[in-house]
Amino acid sequence: MNFSRKNYKHKKSISSLMREIFKNALLITLILSGFLALAQDGSNQQAYLVHEDRVKPGMVEEYEQVSKDLIAACKENNIQELNWMTVSQDDHTYLYITPMEKFAELDVNNFSFLADKMGKDKMSAIFDRFNPCYDEHGDYVIYLHKDLSYQPEGINPNPEGKYYRKFMYDYVTPSDEKGYVEALNEIKELFVKKNSKMNYRIYSTGFGIMGKYYLIVIEGEDPVKFETLAAENWEGMGEDMMPLVKKIRARVLRSDEKTGWMRADLSYLPKK
């Protein structure tokens, strides 16, 4: 399922770029090895295609209106081949997230179904309105690690009523990754032991991103309730948590934090 909006009209499509990349035998090996790892551990991992737009602060209102107009066009034409969840982060980054089963999906432009129904010129006119809103955007793959995540009632990226998000990015080097993952497992064991009320999900980077980071996503009802729960959770962990935090920090190259919201108004989940 390809949600890419990048370069739809004016430049090479992601399909063309992927075909060029596939000519490189080394990259083919790396991509296929990642896909095979996913296939062998399908119960514990879920791949997602992410389209990221870094929107200019002064263009946020216009950008969101164009996004809503695109969704309206998809609804009006009953486009079943597209679906995405949307996140808006505090630095005006917008993430469009689509579940992905295989890399062959990257070679299919599902917006062609919209173009066929509403007309290519009309659809291109919508995409043209995005262009002034950002200078940087692109596509990449991330993996949800269900086995590292803590969500006792079942893994759900978008639980009802909890739309506030904190995003914690931990960048790791290959030499530290094994120890980092071991520490994540220990933290999960502690959360289970303490029956923590704070849920989190762990993601890691895949194709399309240089370097490696693990992303910890924690949800809440709103910022105030989130911070209250975080304080209660920290207190409930007692003295067991700090050694694990130190163990994590010792294996992280650098860390970044963002906050944001799941945006139902900017998401498209067609009715079947």
Q: What is the pLDDT of residues 218-270, one digit of tens each?
A: 999 999 999 999 999 999 998 999 999 999 999 999 999 999 999 999 999 99
Distance CA 35, CA 29 (A): 10
Domain range for 252 is 142-260
C-alpha–C-alpha distance, residues 131 and 262, integer Å: 23
List the one residue out of 249, 172, 269 whose CA is nearest residue 214: 172
198 occurs within a structural domain: yes
Question: Do 197 and 232 reside in the same domain of the chain?
Answer: yes
Specify the higher pLDDT residue, 141 or 13: 141
User: For residue 17, what pLDDT band results from cuts at 50, 70 and 90?
Assistant: very low
Torsion from C-alpha of 240, 246, 247, 250, nearest 10 degrees: 180
Tell me which of 33 and 246 has the higher pLDDT.
246
Report the pLDDT value the prediction gives residue 105, as an integer from 0 to 100: 80
| Residue-averaged pLDDT of the chain | 87
pLDDT in tens, 144-178: 999 999 999 999 999 999 999 999 999 999 999 99
Is 36 strand, coil or helix?
A: helix
What 3-state class would DSSP assign to 84?
strand
Helix (H) or strand (E) holding 256: strand 254-262
Q: How many Å apart are CA 16 and CA 184, to the nearest integer?
A: 38
| The domain boundary residue, chosen from 140, 167, 202 | 140
**Total of domains in the chain:** 2
Q: Looking at the structure, tell me whether residues 214 and 230 fall in a common domain.
A: yes
CA 126 to chain CA centroid, Å, is: 24
| CB neighbour list of residue 31: distance below 8 Å, 6 or more residues apart | 22, 103, 207
- pLDDT category at 41 given cuts 50, 70, 90 is very low
